[in-house]
Amino acid sequence: MSATPTSDPASTPVGIDFGGTGIKGAPVDLEVGDFAAERVRVRTPKPSTPVVVAEVFRELLAAFPGVEGPVGVTVPGIVRHGVVGSAANIDPAWVGTDADALFTEATGREVHVVNDADAAGLAEVRYGAARGRRGLVIVTTLGTGIGSALVHDGRLVPNSELGHLELDGHVAEKRAANSAREREDLSMTAWAERLTAYYRHLERLFSPDLFVVGGGVSKRSDEFLPLLRLDTEVVPATLRNKAGVVGAALHATGG
């Protein structure tokens, strides 16, 4: 499957969102924060070892002939200077892998890797719900776990992993993630009580200026965000499924 980007192919970056079940990629127009060509999606291979995934990336990039900009890749794990430090939902072989170097060699392109929640946070601050906001913005993604991104005056503080904080004697994401709501068949009101406790904990620790709430359940934000009792303004994410790809491309260019 191929597509033609709308912006200058010589400099158009590509974002790739690598998850436990799917891999999505597209060239990104950083002027507007949107795809510059139709997104390509493939299933994450089994096993999802670094070498196997690198080959998938090489084939995915071939779907965008003439697009020659840098490549940003999200990884569902801690990333320090291009090296993956955890692998909760992907093959354990990722731990300790210099993903920047591996993907750059495999694809022949300049590749930079970033934590998936951090990528979403960058995108929401530059183009989405937190655009133009100063101070500390905390972006959270409510899904199987709770991803988080800390962005202060547009600058990312990486690998915050705030879903792993303790809440009522438990790891927070085990109690307050959307998966907990589904697993325990919680009403939105009951779930909002747990979310309130979680976000109040973040308020005590960080005194943020804004919370942005993402993840697939954010499309139902009108059912639970008004139930939260917080001192901090809280708004739903706006980029949703595009955030990972757009944020990865932004990261690849040093944005």
Q: Phi and psi at residue 40, in whole multiples of 5°? A: -110, 135
pLDDT of residue 98 exceeding 90, the answer is yes
Quick one: pLDDT at residue 70? 96
Strand partners, 197: none
**For residues 64-78, b (16+ Cβ closer than 10 Å) or e, as one string?**
beebbbbbbbbbbbb
> Do the Cβ atoms of 235 and 243 come closer than 8 Å?
no
Across residues 72-101, what is the average pLDDT?
A: 93
pLDDT band (50, 70, 90) for residue 241: confident
pLDDT of residue 2 exceeding 60, the answer is no
Strand 111-115 relative to strand 71-75, pairing: parallel
For 52, residues 6+ apart whose C-beta sits below 8 A from its C-beta are 45
pLDDT of residue 227 exceeding 90, the answer is yes
> Do the Cβ atoms of 208 and 232 come closer than 8 Å?
yes
pLDDT of residue 5 exceeding 70, the answer is no
For 87, residues 6+ apart whose C-beta sits below 8 A from its C-beta are 76, 77, 93, 94, 95
Average pLDDT over the chain, rounded to an integer: 93
Q: Is pLDDT larger for residue 29 or for residue 144?
A: 29
Quick one: pLDDT at residue 240? 86
Cβ atoms within 10 A of the Cβ of 107, count?
Answer: 21
pLDDT of residue 9 exceeding 90, the answer is no
CATH class of the domain whose range is 131-238: alpha beta
Q: Which candidate, 191, 138, 190, 188, places its Cα nearest to that of 163?
A: 138
pLDDT of residue 100 exceeding 90, the answer is yes
Quick one: pLDDT at residue 6? 45
* CATH architecture for segment(s) 14-119: 2-Layer Sandwich (3.30)
- List the structure tokens of 28: 């990104």
pLDDT of residue 3 exceeding 50, the answer is no
pLDDT band (50, 70, 90) for residue 1: very low
> Do the Cβ atoms of 24 and 40 come closer than 8 Å?
yes
pLDDT of residue 4 exceeding 60, the answer is no
Question: Which tens digit of pLDDT belongs to each residue from 175-219?
Answer: 999 999 999 999 999 999 999 999 999 999 999 999 999 998 999
- List the structure tokens of 68: 């020659």
Across residues 230-243, what is the average pLDDT?
A: 95
- List the structure tokens of 141: 């993604």
Give residue limits of the domains in the chain. Answer: 14-119, 131-238
Q: Which residue has the tokens 């993630």?
A: 177
Quick one: pLDDT at residue 7? 53
Question: Which tens digit of pLDDT belongs to each residue from 153-180?
Answer: 999 999 999 999 998 899 999 999 999 9
Question: Which tens digit of pLDDT belongs to each residue from 31-57?
Answer: 999 999 999 999 999 999 999 999 999
pLDDT of residue 14 exceeding 80, the answer is yes
